[in-house]
Amino acid sequence: MDLYSILREFADSWALLALFTVFVGVIFWAFRPGSRAVHEDVSQIPFRHEDRPARAASAAGVKETGR
């Protein structure tokens, strides 16, 4: 049995199962009840500076000096 056949059998069985488990875990993590506040906060990002554009320093994460 050559290396290609061994890797193909592994990918067809255990690797597929592992990737499916990771996929289901990510879905459960995204839709867990405790993440609602985080998702709502992130969804409001485009509207935070609706009255004026964000300054370049604030957008880069630099602390404002308070002038």
Could you tell me the CA-to-CA distances from 14 to 6, 7, 44 in Å, in that order?
A: 12, 10, 40
Half-sphere exposure of 13 (CA within 13 A, CB side): 6
Sign for the CA dihedral angle at 6, 7, 12, 17 comes to positive
Spatial distance between the Cα atoms of 47 and 45, rounded to a whole number of angstroms: 5
pLDDT one-digit tens code per residue, 10-47: 888 898 899 999 999 999 998 898 888 888 888 888 88
Residue 61 has pLDDT above 80, yes or no: no
In this prediction the pTM is 0.53
Question: Which amino acid makes up residue 67?
Answer: R
Residue 39: the pLDDT is 87
Query: What pLDDT sits at residue 51?
Result: 73
